[in-house]
Amino acid sequence: MERNETSQYTFTIIVPIYNEAENISRLEEKLQNFLPQSLYPACVLFVNDGSTDGSREKIHSICERNPHFFYLDMKKNGGLSAALKAGFDYCFSEFVGYMDADMQTDADDFNLLLPHLAEYELVTGIRANRKDSFFKNLQSKIANGYRRMMTGDGVSDTGCPLKVLHTGYAKRVPMFNGMHRFLPALILLQNGRIQQIPVRHYPRIAGKSKYHLWNRLTGPFIDCFAYRWMKKRYINYQISGTNLD
C-alpha cells in the first residue's frame, strides 16, 4: 500500500464511526482543540464504518474545513475490528492511537499515554470512575476477568477505547472479527511491552451504544477460544538482513 498524508505526522488518531451523527460536532471541537496540544505532530483519521444516519456527510464536511483531518469510507458496516484494521492499514505515522466517537473518553488524555511509547509498544487507558450503568459495568467486569484468564494479558480494562501504539506493531496485528478486544494480547504475541494508565471517563449524553449483552459478554467468551487457537499458530519473525532496496 502506498504511503499517504499520514506519513507527514508522528501520531495518527483513528476514530471509528458508526451512526454517531449526534456526537460528531462535539468530537470535531474536541479534536480541533487537542491537535495543537498533542505531544507529537498529530492528525485525525475518521473511519466511517458504513454509517446510515448522515455521519458520512458530516465527516466529509469536517475534513474539508480542517487540514489535519482525513477519512476512510467503508463500503459497508464491518464492525469495530474491521474499521480498526482499515485505519491501521492506511496509517503511516510512527505512532497510531484510537478513540471512540461516543465522547465517553477525552482526547486530551492521549498526552497521558504518549510519553510511555519510548518504553512500551502499546499503552492503554484504564477507565477511572466509569460512568456506565451498574449492569454494563458488571458485564464488562465479567468479560474482562474471563479474557485475562484465557489470554494472560494482565490488562484490567481492555475495552477502554483509548490506546496508543507503535504503528509497525499495529500493522502486524492479525485482526479478525472480535479481535479488537484482544489488542494487548496480540501485541504480547509480538513480544511487545504494555503499559496501563488511568484516563477519564464520562457518561454518554448523545447517540446510542452499539453494545448489548451479546457483543459485550457472550461474543467475547466465544472470541477467547478463537484467540487461543490463533495463539498456538501465530508466526512471529524478524529479519536480520537483506539486499532489497
Q: At 107, which CATH number?
A: 3.90.550.10
Q: For position 111, what pLDDT does the model report?
A: 98
Domain assignment of residue 166, yes or no: yes
Predicted local distance difference test score (pLDDT) of residue 21? 94
Name 125's Cβ contacts closer than 8 Å, sequence gap at least 6: 105, 109, 112, 113, 157, 160, 161, 162, 163, 196, 197, 198, 199
pLDDT at 152: 55
User: Alpha-carbon torsion 75, 68, 183, 162, what sign?
Assistant: negative
Question: Has residue 99 been placed in a domain?
Answer: yes
Residue 86 lies in a domain: yes
User: Per-residue pLDDT tens for 3-46?
Assistant: 999 999 999 999 999 999 999 999 999 999 999 999 999 999 99
Domain extent, residue 10, equals 5-132+158-208
Q: Is the dihedral of CA 151, 154, 157, 161 positive or negative?
A: negative
For residue 107, tell me if it sits in a domain: yes
232, part of any domain: no
Overall domain count for the chain = 1
- Output the CA torsion sign for 192, 106, 12, 215: positive
pLDDT in tens, the chain (245 residues): 789 999 999 999 999 999 999 999 999 999 999 999 999 999 999 999 999 999 999 999 999 999 999 999 999 999 999 999 999 999 999 999 999 998 899 999 999 999 999 999 999 999 876 555 554 555 556 555 555 555 556 566 677 889 999 999 999 988 777 777 788 888 988 999 999 999 998 876 765 655 545 555 566 666 766 667 667 777 777 777 777 76
* pLDDT at res. 27: 96
CA distance 8 to 196: 28
* pLDDT for the residue 145: 55
Q: Residues near 192 by Cβ (< 8 Å), separated by ≥ 6?
A: 120, 121, 122, 165, 166, 169
Write down the pLDDT at residue 135: 46
Tell me the per-residue pLDDT of 111-122, one tens digit each, with 9 for 90 and over: 999 999 999 999
| Residue 150 counted as domain residue | no
